[in-house]
Structure 1
Amino acid sequence: MLAGKGIRAIAVMWAMTAISFILVPLRLYTRIYIVKALGVDDHVFNLAWVFLLLYTIFMTISGYYGFGQSITTLEMDMAVKAIYNEMIGQTFAVLGMAIAKISLGIFLLRIVVKQWHRISIWISMVSLAIVSVMTAILFWIQKLPSESIYDPRVPGRLVVKVTPFSILLGSWCAAVDFYFALLPWIFIWKLNMKFKEKMSIAISLSLGFIACVCGIIRTVDLGGLNSSNYTLDTVDLIIWSAVELAVTLICVGIPTVRPLYRVIVHGSNLEDSEGGYVKHNNSDKSSHVHMQNMAKGNTAFRAKDEGTTELYISRNNHSDEEVLVGQNNRTKRGIRVREEVRVETNY
């Protein structure tokens, strides 16, 4: 039965799982019915939440066998089952955190302008995935046979110390959180939009700073992995791992549900408004685009880059942010500047 610190840990984990789940249906509704641009990042986001759920479930099972209590007060069979289920839960946490951050990376790939932005995001995602998978594997083969890791009655030999890799993973997760939170402040200022809109979008995309702080705290608590009193000394690590994963999901989910917020609060309806997006090559210094049928009240902004101009067109109070989020829908709705549109280059 749950006892000791296990009660607090499991309660926090289920609370984090429930809070982060709120964003799952809200995000799906927003992307399917409001923005109409369901993408890969949405499926990756949902997968990350499933991993958080599995993490919580296995830690609850571990708590039933004694997680959160001193290992000296547990029967050997109970302690073995507690550690075994805790290790399974930690594996889901390690992979889930990487998946959640990859979801944000894929989302950022849809709205960044510069080529080096895309390259840096891909490097961050791929490297984080490699470190996460490597740490998860080493976690289970640090001793052979693997049963000797969680059952002291089974003789085994040490293959590799997993703590340095866990510290590397924790540090890299925090670094990726920091970079993904900082990146919007770099490219958002190139958009020709109101300062209030820039700040609103940049802040919503930069909530990952909170996950970065959680990741730093979790990394500090990694010392519990080497403790002989594993079921008790890893409580803080387990809690902060769940908090970091949940906060990452919340930070990733909030920017994508802002269009739904605008519909509810401001009454803007994307069904009645159309947005478009176009990219055209800027082979020289500047370009001038002639567009026809631009209704009064339409807004447009450009994000200029080396050799490329990103042109976003918004109609009927369609927010710039909603256009950013819904770029993948550009082939279905709204104004799109195609090849037949006259493009002149002036110097």
Structure 2
Amino acid sequence: MADAALPAALPPPSGENNGTDLIKSLSVVAGFAFFFMNLRFFCKTRYAKGFGIDDAVIAMAFACLIASITLECLATRWNLGTHIWEIDIKTLPSTNKFLFIGEFFGIIGISFAKTSFCLTLLRLAVKRWHKILIWGCIISVNLFMWPCGITFFVGCTPMAKKWDDSIPGHCIDAMPVVYFAVFAGVWSAMTDFILAIFPWFLVWNLQMRLHEKIGVCVCMSMGVLSGVFAIVKSAYLIPSFADYTYKSTPLLIWSGSELAIVIMASSIPFLRLFWKEIQAKTSSSRSRSKSGYANGDYRLDHMKSYSKMGSSNHASAIRTQVRAEPKTQDDDSDKSILAQSRIMRTDEITIEHGMAKDMGHERTYEVV
């Protein structure tokens, strides 16, 4: 395979290597995906009744992302990121092996991530055509992505010739496989655009406030970025074939970013209750700060009152406290994502009167 990819006239060594860019970029996108996925699991543990199958599938997608990034970063030790004509032919089989297996996990991870997102949408779907369309996306994505990933291990006899061209044997023409990969990438982008629009039909009829609906829909529509990344990735496939050890690094970055974006887009909608709890705590802290008391007390102006039996100044104070308590409950429309929180308000009013003299005797008034 390496000999077939060499250009007719080899240019002089340039010393170019973009392997470091590959490692840095993939590490960043993996960090974002890890952060949002763990926030999703935290919210499921804190507010929901338990984990669902979509959570297990998204965890598998993240595992594929980590496996893909690890193998592709290991391939940089064998000069992935260097022009193919500058790589020692003895190390090229190791480069190919780590690269191909890493790409396999990257492609399968995209299939898992989009399946998880579709399973989340199925929990919101009510109409029959909604479910049919979502299942169509699940089946079609897996139908194209799995064969696309398997092509890294088939087409050569023996299989080891796939990454070591020096082994005796034969391989089929690789270009039809590349064209199929381009088609699978374009189809993946189409499903991303469909799934980005679909939440607006599902969430809009839920019993939620308008700004919450818009926020959830926008977050769930982040998958449109995944579609853009899929198109860009597909555009790199054919041009990178001739010098794949160097030109495939942008392809790998876009592929890893696509998978990470789907994981994040699938996780963000579950953070709604966590965000509402933060807002409630922030509002409570702000109220305590404005009151001038650490415990949130509000002091009213002192008022004067007069007694028929003798005048005296009476100091009155009203104290109000507001507490936010999250509570898990089911809602007929919104329970498919997470239960809504319950805001409990407690008002404690204290009125203290001073001492009034009544016929030479002192009396104290205190109402709580």
Does TM, scored on the shorter chain, surpass 0.5?
yes
Matches within 5 A, 1:275-286: 275-277=330-332
Q: 1:30 to 1:3 in 2, by over 3 A?
A: farther
Bigger shift: 148-157 or 130-139?
148-157
Alignment of 1:62-101 (within 5 A): 62-101=75-114
C-alpha distance in structure 2 between counterparts of 1:236 and 1:77, whole Å? 25
CA distance in 1, matches of 2:178, 2:280: 50
Aligned to 2:121: 108
Letter in 2 for 1:223: I
After superposition, the C-alpha distances for 1:141-198 in whole angstroms (9 at most, x for unaligned) are 1333222222221241316631122112111111111111110112333335433222
Unaligned ranges ≥5, structure 2: 1-14, 282-323, 341-368
> Structure 1 residues 193 and 254 mapped into 2: Cα distance closer, same or farther (>3 Å)?
closer
Q: 2:225 matched to 1:210?
A: yes
Contact between 2:216 and 2:269, CA under 8 Å: does it hold in 1? yes
- Is residue 241 from structure 1 mapped to residue 296 from structure 2 by the alignment? no
Higher mean alpha-carbon deviation, 137-146 vs 66-75, is at: 137-146
* Residue 268 of structure 2 is aligned to residue 254 of structure 1: yes
Q: Is the 8 A contact 2:101 2:152 kept in 1?
A: no
> Which has the higher mean CA deviation after the structures are superposed, 150-159 or 118-127?
150-159
Deviations 1:212-239 (A, max 9, x none): 1111111111115532x22112111111
Measure, in 2, the Cα distance between the counterparts of 1:21 and 1:189. 29
Query: Could you tell me how far 1:269 is from its partner in structure 2?
Result: 4.1
1:189 aligns with one of 201, 204, 226: 204
Find the aligned partners of 1:116 and 1:258 in 2 and give their Cα distance. Answer: 27
Match for residue 163 of structure 1? 178
Q: Structure 2: which amino acid aligns with 1:181?
A: A
Structure 1 residue 176 corresponds to structure 2 residue 191: yes
Q: Are residues 1:139 and 2:194 paired?
A: no
2:67 counterpart letter in structure 1 = L
Residues 277-296 of structure 1: CA deviation (Å, up to 9, x unaligned): 2xxxxxxxxxxxxxxxxxxx
**Distance in 2, Cα, partners of 1:225 & 1:99:** 26
Task: Mark the CA change 1:33 to 1:72 in structure 2 (over 3 Å): closer, same or farther.
Answer: same
**Partners of 2:116 and 2:207 in 1: CA distance:** 27
Residue in structure 2 matched with residue 304 of structure 1 by the alignment:
none
| Aligned equivalents of 2:241, 2:17: Cα separation in 1 | 21
Cα distance, 1:35 vs structure 2 = 2.3
The 1:216–1:187 alpha-carbon spacing in structure 2 relative to 1, beyond 3 Å, is same
> Would you say the 8 A contact 2:75–2:94 is kept in 1?
yes
Once superposed, which parts of structure 1, at least 4 consecutive aligned residues long, lie more than 4 Å away?
Answer: none
Q: Secondary structure at the match of 2:49?
A: coil
Structure 1 residue matching 2:125: 3-state secondary structure: coil
CA RMSD of aligned residues (A): 2.2
Give the CA deviation at 1:270: 3.5
How far has the Cα of 1:93 moved from its partner? 0.5
Q: Is the partner of 2:331 in helix, strand or coil?
A: strand
Cα distance in 1 for partners of 2:144, 2:196 equals 20
The Cα offsets for residues 17-50 of structure 1, whole Å up to 9 and x where unpaired, read as 1121112221111012212342111111111011
1:326 pairs with 2:338: yes
CA 1:269–1:97: 2 relative to 1, 3 Å: farther
Q: Which amino acid aligns with 2:133?
A: S
Tell which structure's C-alpha radius of gyration is larger: 2
Give the whole-Å Cα distance in 2 for the aligned partners of 1:243 and 1:193.
Answer: 32
CA distance in structure 1 between the aligned counterparts of 2:253 and 2:178, rounded to whole angstroms: 18
Q: Distance in 2 between matches of 1:52 and 1:169?
A: 19
Aligned-partner Cα distance in 2 for 1:169–1:266: 45
Q: Give the TM-score normalised by the residue count of structure 1.
A: 0.76
* Aligned residues between the structures: 283
More relative contact order, 1 or 2 (CA 8 Å, 6+ apart)? 1
Q: Is the 8 A contact 1:224 1:237 kept in 2?
A: no
Q: Does 1:128 align with 2:141?
A: yes
**1:20-39 alignment, distance < 5 Å:** 20-39=33-52
Letter in 2 for 1:259: L
The secondary structure found in structure 2 opposite 1:140 is coil
